[in-house]
A = this chain, B = another copy of it.
Amino acid sequence: MSTTVENEWPRQVTILGVGLLGGSVALSMRRTVPGIRLVGLARSPEKRQFLTASGIVDLPAETISDACEQSDVVVVASPVDRIAEMVISAAESSPEHCLITDVGSTKRQIVASVDVHPAASRKFVAAHPIAGSEKSGPENATSSLFDEKLVVVTPTETTSPELLEKAHQFWQLTGGQTCEMTPSEHDTHLAAISHMPHLVSALVAKIASSEALPLAGSGWRDITRVAAGDPTLWAAICSENRAAIGSELKQFAEELERLRQLLQNADDAALHQWLTEAKKIKEQSP
C-alpha cells in the first residue's frame, strides 16, 4: 500500500491573464502542490509557446471555455475593468465545484457586477493579494511573490462557508496569509494605503523639471518607483474605485494645506512635531 500523499485539491488550476500576478500564482502553486496541472489562457501562439517553455503552465488554452472546463480553481488576473466579465465567462464553462477567484486591486464594483449573475456569484470569492511590482509580464513572475503577503478575501452575504474555506485554502497554498473584509472596506482601505499614494508618487514624478531631474537621489527614486507602473492598469483602478480615491485625495490636499501653513508661518516647532508624527506612523507600518 503506497502512503504517498498526493494533494487532493486542487488538481487543476486555470489562470486567466498570465502576467506578473497570474504567472506568480502558477509558479507558487507548482511549488507547493505536487502533480498540479496548470492551465493558462493565451490568445497568441507566441505567448502559448513562452508559457509552456518557461514552465509557468502545463497546458495553454486559446479560449476561456477550453481553459476552465476541468478546473478546480480559476484565477482571474486581468486588469480590474475586465475581471467581472471573465469571472462570468469562467463560471459558464467550469465544473459545478469550481472556485473562481481573482487578484484585482479593487473589489466593490467587481463583486457587484458578478453578484447579479447567480451562476457566477455562487462560484466566486473575490481576493486581492497585497503583492506586486512596477514590473509586469509573466517573465517577471516568481514562485515567492506571495510568501508571507497578506491576501484580502472579500466574501459577500451569499458566499457559502464551504467556498469561502476553499478560497482561504487556495491563497494559503500560494504562500499568502489570508484575512477577510467586505468589498467596500477593502476599497476604502486600499484607496488610502495604495491607490492615493500611487497617484501622489506619479505626481511627484510628473512635476520634476528636466533641470532638477539629474539631481534625483535615492529618496526621489524610492518615492517615485511605482510611477513607472502601467498607466492602463492604474487608470482602470482609478475608474473602479473613483469615489474612495477622490475622498483620500481630498484628505491629502487638506493635510497638504496644513503643512504649507506650518512652513509659511515659520512654525518650526510645529513642523518638527508634524515630521515626528509621520515618522512614528511610518515606524508602526509592517
Contact among B149, B215, B239 for A268, CB-based, below 8 A: B239
Residues of B within 8 A of A192 (CB): 207-209, 212
- A256 to B255, Cβ gap below 8 A? no
Number of A positions contacting B (CB below 8 A): 85
- B223 to A246, Cβ gap below 8 A? no
Check if A231 is an interface residue, CB within 8 A of chain B.
yes
Contact among B190, B216, B234, B257 for A215, CB-based, below 8 A: B190
- B194 to A219, Cβ gap below 8 A? yes
Residues of B within 8 A of A55 (CB): none
The verdict on A203 contacting B235 (CB below 8 Å), with A223-B197, A225-B219 known, is no
The verdict on A225 contacting B227 (CB below 8 Å), with A208-B285, A255-B203 known, is no
Interface residues in A250-273 by Cβ distance below 8 A to B read: 250-253, 255-257, 259-260, 263-264, 266, 268, 271-272
Q: Give complex CA distance A246, B257 in Å.
A: 11
Question: A230 to chain B: closest CB distance in Å?
Answer: 8
- B278 to A202, Cβ gap below 8 A? yes
- Which of A8-16, A31-39, A129-137 faces chain B? A129-137
- A239 to B266, Cβ gap below 8 A? yes
- A285 to B245, Cβ gap below 8 A? no
- A263 to B249, Cβ gap below 8 A? yes
Check if A286 is an interface residue, CB within 8 A of chain B.
yes
Q: Give complex CA distance A193, B210 in Å.
A: 10
Interface residues in A96-131 by Cβ distance below 8 A to B read: 130-131
Check if A46 is an interface residue, CB within 8 A of chain B.
no
Contact among B202, B222, B285 for A275, CB-based, below 8 A: B202
Question: Lowest 10 CB-CB distances: which A-B pairs, in order?
Answer: A231-B275, A202-B278, A206-B278, A189-B212, A193-B212, A235-B272, A192-B212, A227-B282, A205-B282, A130-B217
A-B contact pairs, 20 of them (CB 8 A): A133-B218, A149-B217, A193-B215, A194-B219, A194-B220, A197-B204, A197-B220, A199-B259, A200-B256, A202-B274, A202-B275, A203-B252, A222-B222, A222-B223, A222-B226, A228-B283, A232-B272, A235-B272, A249-B260, A249-B263
Q: A132-B218, A197-B224, A214-B286 are in contact. List 7 more A-B contacts (CB 8 A).
A: A130-B215, A200-B200, A200-B204, A200-B256, A222-B225, A223-B225, A228-B279
